[in-house]
Structure 1
Amino acid sequence: MENVFTYLKNQFVFQLDILFQVENPTEKPVLNQIDANGFINEFIIENNLTEFDILILGLSLVPHMKPDFLSSVIAEYLPNGGELPEFGGIKTKNHRGILPTGETAQFLIAGNDLENRISFYNYLHNQSYLYKKGIIKIESVPKGEPKLSGLLILEDEYIEKFITGKILKPQLSSIFPAQLIETQLDWDDLVLNSNTLNQIKEIETWLKFNDILLHEWNMKAKIKPGFRVMFYGTPGTGKTLTASLLGKYTQRDVYRIDLSMVISKYIGETEKNLSSLFDKAADKDWILFFDEADAVFGKRTSVKDAHDKYANQEVSYLLQRIENHPGLVILASNFKTNIDAAFTRRFQSIIEFEVPSYGERLKLWQNNLPKGIKIDEDVNLNELSKKYDITGANIVNIIQYACLRTLEDQNKSINLNHLLQGIKKEYAKEGKMM
């Protein structure tokens, strides 16, 4: 990392010598060959960053690693203080040094040469790997102020990566209304009918080969980005587990959207919340999972008042964002008919998760009963599977209840009575009678 900061400082000295018309100006620095020693160097090599992007990356890291870096550079040329508008930078309430802005990056690379400054602007927006991937961004500024006067910001997860070697996962918050979901289970634990499993395999195929299809097979101009899927069916039939397994076996993070944090009664706030989410996810290999999606993606209604008008606008906005999102978006609902037809027409796949059949229930009982304790001889799994029409989630809850009762009673085996009591509890939750 130190060689990047050295190159960064030498580049600033080069530009400032020209600006201040120093008698013997420093020659333009040359970047020494980057070796694979260190997290930032590995990232530079892996992504084949240009020299411009290396400078921008180093500049974005400065406040986090060398807080006095920019102040000390300026002090050499303005020992008595003073302003240098070309240099950019902002002083804030908490940080005692200078924070870099887009203007600082522009001066670093282009100096005070007008043509070079214009070229930098085009480079940043059209060629920079860091900017296109959302790794760095320029903070928005009030209307009328130059766009490049916004703070140069390095995404939090990459700050962590370059310092510790690990990417920081975004946490559920008002700014990021989604939570990472993971599973310890495997595909063998997902018990579904063959038709549903085959459709899920189609999604896995897209996740594996989409990049080849778009870029190597040159289909980018003909195929819309992203893949949109709808899961529908009774709660507890495996929709969330399926999303988690897709992520696990394709090495992608799965984020379940917390719709309670997205939906707002204030006009425009729902769109704002979703815009922030989609913007952050745009260049990540994430899977976005909207559970109980009816709340946001429900049918549009006839316009009777202003509330209906804005509710319909929210649905239209979502339709646009989902259609343009380059990744996998999964909408989960209890009923297919609850989702607006404008969404369903644009899904590549609509998959029903049916209540398990007798054979599937039997397999769920067998898979989920603990292996380390005996089961009483009067427990007939075939009989339980035939008699009780329940989901996989119900069965897991029943087994958990029976296991806890077995431990509480200090029994050496799971008995039928505890299982039946668990089934009765699950039926009661759903308003059914045994």
Structure 2
Amino acid sequence: MNSNEPNLQSAMDWLTRMVDGCLKVYFGHSEKFEVPALSFYDNEGWLADLLERQKPNYQEFTLLMLALAAHLQPNLLNKLIAGYLPEGGDFPEFGGVKGANHRGLLPTGETAQFILAGDDLGKRLEVQRILGSDHWFAQQKMLWLEPVPEGEPVMSGRLVLDAEVVECLTVGAVSKPRFSMDFPAEYIETQMDWNDLVLHPNTSRQIREIEQWIKHNDTLLFEWGMKKKIKPGYRALFYGPPGTGKTLTATLLGKQTGKDVFRIDLSRVVSKYIGETEKNLSRLFDKAENKNWILFFDEADALFGKRTEIRDAHDKYANQEVAYLLQRIESYNGLVILASNQRGNIDEAFVRRFQAIVHFPIPGPEERAEIWRKTFPAQIRIHKDLDWDKVASRYELSGANILNITHYCALQCLAGDVLMIDLNRLETAIQRELIKEGKVF
């Protein structure tokens, strides 16, 4: 059972009594209404944690539960109103709107004012203040009013509870976002660990520095008082040829430090339509805010390439897109990694914004020999004529190339039922990989 469930049931029962009491007064069935007592079960659910952390007053709690009610009891408001208007009819004082798919009544700011303030102007303005941009609801992106068409009352906007808050309250955890047009990023993970990755010593040293930032950043900012002096977050550029471990390193950084890694598909972010790229980026960063995710922008040249001189409106807006992305990256309080095949592809004006610029070179002979030894599965025996040091010296291959070759060799061994690799079979596989890459053997 969801640990929030007992408290949610109590909260929905309490909200029902609240709304019913207000309706009784409005329709003359009662002279006054007192806020009913609310008791909670002592547990460690997300709702209990929220109450302890934020200590909402009864108006704030009412707003939260009112916005949540449609997710738990879709007919709650309709059923209560039908008890006083059995023949139906217009009830503008109560507010509420119909959704595109939802068949019940969705509460608005006016609904909240009816329940919490009635006709009391001062109390109605207080509800409006709670739903304003200065309140912790808005600052924490937890609860807000849906924008309304120009000229219509602000409080006629629908009460919107953040989808992740709804998930926390209803199922007890937030699921990872799925790749979509609204979230053009893919969650990436690996079963490999650092021992499976072979990097140049200088590259490894710089990756350890990024790990140190992840580990000690909170202490530096909050305990050592550096928050007012340095910008939040950390920005790194990984550059080097394809197949040299840039993506795997980013994934392992997340695995090692317990942070989710999302690879951004810039082809889905960049739009030919003016303003759409900024909207796509805004949705992405709004979703990532305060999650401590690692954002990995693969093939970042698409947005961070050398800026052009402004010759026409297209150049102007392209530069605006880059400026917007820079602003969002610099304000993001987590780790952002940009990957490029060549450092020279990245505008030097952007390079100043990175705390780390990490080169991923084609592995040298020593690294290649180590990759060969680590990549072949233990089930395959290595013939005595095969010297990994000599193979590594002769063939300049990336780690991805070596993995492809190993994959091919392993399948050939299984197909032929001969679990041994010799130099001849290995070089045949290497030749196949080089031809595929368009290189002369």
Choose the corresponding residue for 1:276, options 274, 283, 289. Answer: 283
Q: What is the CA-CA distance between 1:174 and the residue it aligns to?
A: 1.0
- What SS class does the counterpart of residue 198 from structure 2 fall into? coil
Quick one: which amino acid aligns to residue 186 of structure 1? Answer: D
Cα distance in 2 for partners of 1:110, 1:342 equals 54
Aligned match of 2:190 in 170, 183, 186?
Answer: 183
Tell me the alpha carbon deviations over residues 360-410 of structure 1, each in whole angstroms, 9 at most, x when there is no partner. 112211221101232222222111112111111111111001111111222
After superposition, the C-alpha distances for 1:272-300 in whole angstroms (9 at most, x for unaligned) are 11111111112322111100000112111
Distance in 2 (alpha carbons) for counterparts of 1:175 and 1:364: 39
What residue in structure 2 maps to residue 91 of structure 1? 98
Q: What is residue 42 of structure 2 aligned with on the other side?
A: 35
User: Which residue does the alignment assign to 2:249?
Assistant: 242
Q: CA deviation at 1:240?
A: 0.6
Is the alpha carbon distance of 1:71 and 1:216 closer, same or farther for their aligned partners in structure 2, counting shifts above 3 Å?
A: farther
3-state SS of 2:187 partner: strand
Contact 1:102 1:152 (C-alpha < 8 Å) held by counterparts? yes
Residue in 2 that maps onto 1:391: 398
Ranges in structure 1 where 5+ consecutive residues have no aligned partner: none
* Deviation by residue 1:337-376 (Cα, 9 ceiling, x = unmatched): 2112232111111111121122211221122110123222
Q: Summarize the alignment of residues 368-379 of structure 1 with structure 2, pairs less than 5 Å apart.
A: 368-379=375-386
Matched, 1:303 2:322: no
- Structure 2: distance between partners of 1:247 and 1:359: 27
Q: Percent identity?
A: 51
CA shift, 1:178, in A, is 0.8
Q: May I ask how many residue pairs the two structures share in their alignment?
A: 433
Matching residue's letter, 2:412: R
Q: Which amino acid aligns with 1:11?
A: M
Deviations 1:230-253 (A, max 9, x none): 111111111111111111122221
Could you tell me whether the CA contact under 8 Å between 2:95 and 2:107 is conserved in 1?
Answer: yes
The secondary structure found in structure 2 opposite 1:74 is helix
* 2:141 paired with 1:134: yes
Q: Identify unmatched segments of 5+ residues in structure 2.
A: 1-7
Is the CA contact 1:178–1:258 (under 8 Å) kept in the aligned structure 2? yes
User: What is the deviation of 1:69?
Assistant: 0.9
Note the 1:34-113 alignment, pairs <5 A.
34-36=41-43, 39-41=45-47, 43-44=49-50, 47-51=53-57, 53-113=60-120
Amino acid at match of 2:74: P
TM-score, scaled relative to structure 2: 0.89
CA distance in 2, matches of 1:186, 1:413: 26
Report the more deviating stretch, 194-203 or 326-335.
194-203
Distance in 2 (alpha carbons) for counterparts of 1:54 and 1:421: 70
Amino acid at match of 2:76: F
Query: Equivalent residue for 2:4?
Result: none
Residue in 2 that maps onto 1:153: 160
Residue 182 of structure 1 and its aligned partner are, at CA, apart by: 0.6
1:83 shift after superposition: 3.9
Q: Deviations over 1:203-236 (max 9, x none)?
A: 2222223233333333322221221111111111
Is 2:429 aligned against 1:425? no
Which of 9, 23, 35 pairs up with 2:16? Answer: 9
The TM-score with structure 1 as length reference comes to 0.90
Which residue of structure 2 lines up, in the alignment, with residue 406 of structure 1?
413
* Stretch moving more, 368-377 or 206-215: 206-215
Partner deviation per Cα, 1:26-77 (whole Å, 9 max, x = no partner): 321232134217x554553674552455434433332222111121233344
Q: Secondary structure at the match of 2:203?
A: helix
Aligned 8 A contact 1:232 1:336 in 2 = yes
Q: What is the letter of the counterpart of residue 38 of structure 2?
A: L
Q: CA deviation at 1:254?
A: 0.9
Query: How many angstroms apart in 2 are the aligned matches of 1:405 and 1:23?
Result: 84
Preserved CA contact (<8 Å) 1:300 1:312: yes
Change (3 A) 1:149 1:207: farther
Matched, 1:349 2:352: no
